Amino acid sequence: MTKIRKRLLIVSTLIMVGMLLLNSRLMQIQLISTESFSDNNINLIEASVKQRTQEMIIDDGRGKLVDRNGESLLYTKSNRLVLFPFLKEMDWPVEEIAALAGLSPYVLTEAVKKMKEPTMIGGELSGSQMEEINRLQTPGVFAVPIQEEQQTTVADHIVGITAESKEIIEKNYKNQLKKGEISITTPVGISGLQRSFDEFLLPEQESKLLYHVDRRGGPLFGIDVKYTGAANPFYPVNIQTTVDVAIQKRLEEVMNRSGLKEGGFVLLDVETSEVVAMTSRPSINKKNPYNNEKSIVNRMLTPQMPGSIFKTVIAAAAIEQNLVQANELYNCDYSIHDKILPAKKKQGLLNFTDSFAESCNRTFSDLAKKMSEKDPEMMDEYAHKLGLTELVGWNGDVFHFEQFRQFDQEARNTIWHPDDDKKDVNLVKLAAIGQRNVKLTPLSVANMMATIARGGKKQTVKIVDEIQYKNGGSLYTFHNQKMSGNRISPYTALQLQRLLKEVVIQEKGTGRRFQTLPYTVAGKSGTADIRVNAANKEIVNKWFAGYFPVENPKYALVVVDLNTFSDTSPTNQIFYEIVKELYEMS
């Protein structure tokens, strides 16, 4: 009997402990942790409401990225007819609404029969159509402006992407999370401008139509549909970029036709160094960006081996330091290492101007050797004077952000490996022709071309002009900004302009193809040897960088094809077509 009592006591105690634990858990769920349940800080009240709510998101509440003319880079906004599922249970003026929307009554009734959630029906409505439909005040029928992501992406690397990231939320937005201003599932920027301007773009409040349903999806509190939206007239903000969407779209079409797989282009306004258009390939896979994380990387902000593009720096130093004799000739039948070249690569005796136009390696390796003997830091000095030794994107203090950067993914250029000896003649010669450890971002090369076209004035590159309040007022303006440090003299800039023009106008110039363009072009080609593949074919980076029109420079343009074959690269064709497109759009 004693054993039975003990067992009953143990069982009763276990039941009571279990009940206490269950009640404690219920108290935690219903009374204590209602707004921050579990490690994921789930708001149980919101989740409960969401379970019995159907909604149509009109605007996600995140700040917008717009071009220089105010056109969205990511979304389209259109007036659309929205119908709710409970219409199938009631009489409503189907024929009248169908007539106003330009649809057949049959289309509307059939759509409602199949509907399980609020749905857009038909095409875009005019302002008057929207007014007439809403004037009927039919429950479950709304004509509203709806924001939709564009089907065809444009400037995807400029815009970047958003995604849920618990790590970023907890690292950067603890206070907002604690205050309930955002949740752990709020999308944040993980690349492009979405990332660099993320704190400004965080959603204020979604705009949506919603109603409550029972477990079968029927109206819980009648047929009352509510509109919720941000009442704040100032937020969310617009980030007004310097990009021209019309130009961006046209030039992306050029890229798509070219078949270029890795690389891209940068187009700058010469006067301001503002980005007018920019594209990187491969394109971002927005549906599954992490399937190929390299696609998220903007190649235009990543240092690449430039080849003969770097001869522009050597030319600047040679001009300014008087290292070039008027009648001096260079034997371009020899390589930089004093070996006789194959017959097809021989260029004969060339002067300085012709050497630049025809891109003779021997001339610039000899000049670099002279520079090194005079001052081992000279190459670095002139790279700095042309804006190649520092980040070129706009940076500065913006509110509480110290050294805020518009291009958060921009990487630093390199000329030397830390262990390189700048007095080693062989390393100096390789650096002079843009090989070995010389790596430049296409953005910085485009800015160098703009600097030369401006007469040597260095400016940072800007891609955002202003942060605007929702009502159009200015929250912050990014003024044009000079780059620090010394610059080339106006005379040197003038001589570089002449050399860059010779590349195109000379019969043997590496840019002679551009002679037939409606705009006159000045520029420099570049081919950097990367490696030799298994079939013994050279893999190269193929560049062309320049500005146009020469008489009154408006644009600086860089096109680069990365890890390609020199004989099949579309670099020059892309440059040609872009210049032609811009002429036709002017």
pLDDT at 218 (0 to 100): 54
Quick check: 408 pLDDT over 90?
no
What SS3 string covers 29-73?
HHHHCCCCECCCCECHHHHHHHHCEEEEEEECCCCEEECCCCCEC
Quick check: 558 pLDDT over 70?
yes
Quick check: 206 pLDDT over 90?
no
pLDDT at 10 (0 to 100): 74
pLDDT at 49 (0 to 100): 46
**Higher-pLDDT residue of 251, 10:** 251
Average pLDDT over residues 490-502: 98
Average pLDDT over residues 333-348: 95
Quick check: 217 pLDDT over 60?
no
Quick check: 342 pLDDT over 60?
yes
d(CA 532, CA 264): 22
Torsion of Cα atoms, 76 then 81 then 84 then 87, to 10°: -170
| pLDDT tens track for 222-271 | 556 666 666 666 778 999 999 999 999 999 999 999 999 999 999 999 99
Query: Which has the minimum average pLDDT: 77-81, 253-257, 460-464, 499-503?
Result: 77-81
pLDDT at 225 (0 to 100): 67
- Sequence length of the chain is 586
How far is C-alpha 258 from the geometric centre of its chain's CA atoms? 20
Query: Which has the minimum average pLDDT: 89-93, 107-111, 507-511, 538-542?
Result: 89-93
User: With contact defined as beta carbons under 8 Å apart, do 453 and 270 qualify?
Assistant: yes
Quick check: 470 pLDDT over 90?
no
Quick check: 125 pLDDT over 70?
yes
pLDDT at 573 (0 to 100): 97
Q: Which two tokens stand for residue 539?
A: 């893999």
Predicted TM-score of the model (pTM): 0.85
Q: How many angstroms separate the Cα of 16 from the Cα of each of 7, 24, 90, 195, 503?
A: 14, 12, 51, 53, 90
Could you tell me where the DSSP H helices lie in 351-489?
Answer: 352-358, 361-374, 378-385, 425-432, 442-453
- Pairing type for strands 474-477 and 464-468 reads antiparallel
Torsion of Cα atoms, 205 then 209 then 213 then 219, to 10°: 150
pLDDT at 476 (0 to 100): 94
Average pLDDT over residues 333-362: 96
Quick check: 298 pLDDT over 90?
yes
What SS3 string covers 215-255?
CCCCECCCCCCEEECCCCCCCCCEEEECCCHHHHHHHHHHH
**Higher-pLDDT residue of 243, 90:** 243
Please tell me what DSSP assigns to residue 182.
Answer: S
pLDDT at 47 (0 to 100): 46
Q: Is residue 176 helix, strand or coil?
A: helix
| pLDDT tens track for 14-61 | 778 777 777 666 665 555 555 554 555 555 445 444 555 667 777 778
| pLDDT tens track for 316-340 | 999 999 999 888 999 999 999 999 9
pLDDT at 60 (0 to 100): 78
d(CA 237, CA 144): 21
Average pLDDT, the chain: 88
Quick check: 560 pLDDT over 70?
yes
Confidence of residue 514 (pLDDT cuts 50, 70, 90): very high
State whether the Cα torsion 506-509-513-514 is positive or negative. Answer: negative
In 10 A of CB 211, how many CB atoms?
23
Percent of the chain with pLDDT over 90: 64
Show the domains of the chain with their CATH numbers: 55-241 (3.90.1310), 245-283+304-585 (3.40.710.10)
In 10 A of CB 474, how many CB atoms?
11
Largest Cα separation within the chain, whole Å, is 122
Quick check: 578 pLDDT over 50?
yes
| Identified catalytic residue from 191, 258, 308, 444 | 308
Quick check: 74 pLDDT over 90?
no
pLDDT at 545 (0 to 100): 98
| pLDDT tens track for 184-200 | 988 999 999 999 999 99
pLDDT at 350 (0 to 100): 97
Known catalytic membership, residue 308: yes
Torsion of Cα atoms, 201 then 202 then 206 then 207, to 10°: -20
